[in-house]
Amino acid sequence: MPHLISASILNADFSCLKKEIEMINSSETDWFHLDIMDGVFVPNLSFGFPVVEQVKKYATKILDVHLMIVEPDKFVERFREAGADILTVHYEVCPHLHRTIQNIKSFGMKAGVSLNPHTPVSVLEDIIQDVDLVLLMTVNPGFGGQKFIENSYAKITRLKKMIVEKGSSAVIQVDGGVDLSNTRKLVNAGVDVLVIGSFIFKSDNPLDTISKLKKA
């Protein structure tokens, strides 16, 4: 399938959030990406349910919610109520990952698992057939605008091989340091969904930038 773009609103101008959402609605972007940070699992705070609800109110596209928080199981139902279509949790904070994945799916959402840069894809071998999405962090999570970690290409290739061998339908998503310089290489390595924030929202012409990313 053609690669998808998930626009990370963490980098949007929150003083005119509705306008930013409407811009993404009118663009070739496929999803909205919402990073939820708790200041515990990652060294930063972002936003919570009220912002997710406001994005849902105006968005016409899929809400792709990434939980960078401890104890995500406590909030699965609440994020569904807020409007999440896809809910991704981190392997590193889920001692009972299979149970968490099933919990997410029980509320009608797609279930994703994210891996930090240091976490090998091999940890997903026994659950890859149960997940809808695997998000590989290509920077250390917590802040936008970081430099892409080059070892990520080999990691993507290993994950793609596992997905094919296990007969999984999981899509591969990457987040961190993605721009026009590496989009084609990432897609060729096996990436299905590119999370892009600052490169879109800080560009002079976001709509044109998104169009170029889709065609890359």
Catalytic sites, residue numbers: 35, 175
Q: Which helix (H) or strand (E) holds 170?
A: none
Residue 29, CA distances (Å) to 8, 110, 154 in order: 11, 19, 26
For residue 172, the SS3 value is: strand
Taking the C-alpha atoms of residue 97 and residue 113, their distance in angstroms, rounded to an integer, is 9
**Residue 210 to residue 136: CA distance in whole angstroms:** 21
> What value does the CA radius of gyration of the chain take, rounded to a whole number of Å?
16
Measured from the Cβ of residue 125, the count of other Cβ atoms closer than 10 Å reads 12
Distance separating alpha carbons of residues 64 and 203, to the nearest angstrom: 22
For residue 96 the two structure tokens come to 């009972």
What are 88's strand-pairing partners?
66, 112
Neighbours of 71 (CB within 10 A): 12
